[in-house]
Chains A and B, each alone.
Chain A
């Protein structure tokens, strides 16, 4: 594909583009769908094509094709050029790319156990066993699992990025992800549901490590106990301890998204929205001094892993909030050029036919120095929210809501009875300012982050330690 990718860059330049970028991407995916313990289907997908992105008199054009011939690439380049050229009619500020150092490199994540070495039957058997564990565990508690869907995706991505200013990045990345929705039912207690994602970069060894039968058994036990024993929706002013699953989501929604430079510039205003942060918000205090939120694409084995972004810029850890103060935004080369800085390698695209845009990778709260026991022992009367089901946040990333699923009362530092669906409905600054202790543990969850138009659900990790919030008001 190198010849065709290079051809696309050269041809676009020959048309008169001041910048040209071409990306070959091939994703080969296998999905096994298990519906209530029974395989629904095995789906194989191959997405393979090349995109061309150009700057023409400061206007940005993008075209993609899966016609992988020189004729097909000429047509795509011509189209990208023409559309960019036509749009100069409604262009005030010329778009440009920063002068970041660009990679010339090959990056390969080698799986220990290739997905193809495990047959479909064995993969389906593993999912069925996980389902059985969930059903049996629930039955032991006289709970039914009326529905349970499990989807296991395994896929390999090959990308080759070349630009007219010298980037050459060829990467190979295998990933696996599991999505589950479990419903638990008791004739007197009602229905509750739990979804969870697992995901990472690597081979089948990662799926084995997840130990799905054990995980499903534990999840089923927890769901059963919530259904049987949780009661009373806590409300009013109280101390709250949030578990890593919730903390990760908060980091993603209320620290990662607002710090995306394209949102700050208004580029996503009609879709994912804008942000409460402005171009000059670096240095703004948004939380207590214990709050350090980072985004790091280079975490080994992570779902959001990459070493070079789609513009050829080397990835690095980004410190979004440092000691409670806005420290850095997420940039691609376009936004970095506006801010007159260098890209921090945040340009990502989910497929060959998607424009690279500013994205998170693995966003998390850095651990502090409290043990879990120390976090709890100082709470006289509080609530521990370990997991969530419902959540959302406004399009300025300021007002958010998290509804707990697994949650407990805390009395005099001790975990007491389960409570039902505590609602934390707070502002971003209100939440981060209430943090008075940060645990030294660290856990990650997998998710697909939605952004862009057309929508691009991109793999990310979210994570963090346990944290303690003082005097927050539950309710909603």
Chain B
């Protein structure tokens, strides 16, 4: 049997064995990663995998499995086992049949843009990034280059049989000018032409140079200018917890907020995987439903949660094309641009703090949105509309909903962000947040 025929074969098999609904995804991935630190490569890695995911329902009884393709060749055994498990699994809350196709998909979204995984070329990207940072004055660099090609073949009992190919490039560069002064930036793309490792290195290097000789910051409430890495971390949290599943299990501060003004009117947040060539492009979700542009926040008002067909039925709405068979999720987040440049919004801040990066975000309470996260890399005092001194050792300790409401300005300039700390690719501007609470160690 040819590889691309396996999903449909398993769907037919499972239906014959008594499943009411079946979705089978074959995921083929080739992924190269080069990690570097101290201006040299520390390890080069390559992952080559084919796995089959089978999800089936016998009405309210649901079971799923992921197995290597080699095991799936013994499909009958896998399906028999899964049917057995589903039959003895206690019923779920409700039964939502898988969406009925066939569906039309945008052909522009189905094809790989031709990412190269050639070792020499990938090393070249790393060299460009390191050199970019060093040319700006960094002493040492560290980071990761990722290059991925994947093929998804999906078949469902809802007459879906579709194939998507996609590729992506991602580089994350951290530049150091001393033990405690550093800068970080990224470049991500769904194609080669928009990938710019040199610029990522240069930006990280510039921040690291500006961050030299940091003084210990003072805690308190400040107007904060958040760089794209920080704002992407916060805004991707909003995108992630707009999953109806997370809302239902108490892991979202967006519960009971549909049609409420949850943010400043300047904030518009969209999940849009239909942009050809973008990092998070997707033509269809894990139920085979065509993806679409979903407005999550419009002029500060929460418009919808993200759904698969099960959460949609529970909430009495249509699926948004964001399945995840258990939990729906965003694909490709976009914050609509503001009108002013970075320089213009900086010039409007009399006294404040510019934060270029953060990490380690943890909630005290997912439902209220109380959390803290730690600024890292360059952080600067702003005085009279300009960056003054470099500071360190502060923590952002605040509340997600309060921050969203306290957004004062959003820049015209935007950057695609995704890295170790930000899971979902997010097109992110700079943002100004008033009265952001900073704390620090007391001893």
Contacts and interface: CB of A to CB of B under 8 A. Distances in A.
Interface of A: 33, 35-36, 38-49, 59-68, 72, 75-76, 79-80, 82-87, 89-93, 95, 119-121, 124-125, 128, 146-149, 181, 183, 190-193, 265-271, 273-274, 353, 355, 389-396, 399-401, 403, 421, 423, 425-427, 430, 434, 453-455, 472-476
- Size class of the B contact interface (CB-based, 8 Å): 35 or more
Query: Sorted from nearest, which 7 A-B pairs have the closest CB atoms?
Result: A147-B250, A83-B44, A269-B142, A473-B442, A390-B364, A86-B119, A87-B41
B114 interface: no
B68 interface: yes
Interface stretch (B45-53, B264-272, B280-288): B45-53
A426 B49 contact: no
7 contacts: A39-B91, A46-B65, A67-B70, A148-B249, A427-B443, A453-B33, A473-B442
A147 B248 contact: yes
Interface of B: 32-51, 62-71, 81-82, 85-86, 88-93, 119-120, 122-123, 126-127, 130, 140, 142-144, 172-174, 176, 179-180, 184, 219, 245, 248-251, 325-326, 359-368, 370-374, 376, 393, 395, 397, 420, 439-443
Contact of B50 (A66, A148, A395, A430): A66
Given A39-B91, A90-B127, A147-B249, 18 more contacts: A41-B325, A44-B82, A48-B68, A61-B43, A62-B43, A76-B48, A86-B119, A91-B40, A147-B250, A181-B249, A269-B142, A390-B362, A394-B393, A395-B360, A399-B374, A430-B443, A472-B443, A473-B443
A254 B47 CA distance: 33
A67 B48 contact: yes
Q: Which one of B71, B92, B249, B393 has the greatest number of beta carbons of chain A within 10 Å? A: B249
Q: Which of B45, B93, B363, B365: most chain A Cβ within 10 A?
A: B45
A84 B120 CA distance: 11
Contacts of A85: 119
Contacts of B81: 44
A270 B133 CA distance: 13
B441 A399 contact: yes
Contacts of A91: 40-41
A26 B122 CA distance: 30
Nearest to B37: A266
B66 to A, nearest CB: 5
Contact of A36 (B184, B249, B370): B249
Contact of A270 (B66, B172, B248, B440): B172
Nearest to B180: A396
A90 B40 contact: yes
Given A60-B44, A83-B45, A266-B140, A389 B365 contact: yes
Contact of A76 (B42, B46, B393, B420): B46
B172 A434 contact: no
Given A44-B82, A48-B71, A401-B372, A90 B130 contact: yes
Nearest to B359: A395
A41 B66 CA distance: 13
B443 to A, nearest CB: 4
Given A63-B45, A472-B442, A392 B65 contact: no
Contacts of A265: 37-38
A245 to B, nearest CB: 15
B37 A267 contact: yes
A266 B82 CA distance: 46
Given A193-B367, A355-B45, A42 B89 contact: yes
A90 B376 CA distance: 27
A87 B443 contact: no
A375 B89 CA distance: 49
B379 to A, nearest CB: 12
Contact of A39 (B34, B90, B440): B90
A423 B371 CA distance: 12
Contact of B376 (A66, A80, A394, A434): A394
Contacts of B63: 41-44
B441 A183 contact: no
A60 B37 CA distance: 13
B154 to A, nearest CB: 18
A41 B92 contact: yes
Contacts of A453: 33, 35, 144, 420
B439 A425 contact: yes
A391 B439 CA distance: 13
B442 A66 contact: no
Contacts of A454: 33
Nearest to B42: A267
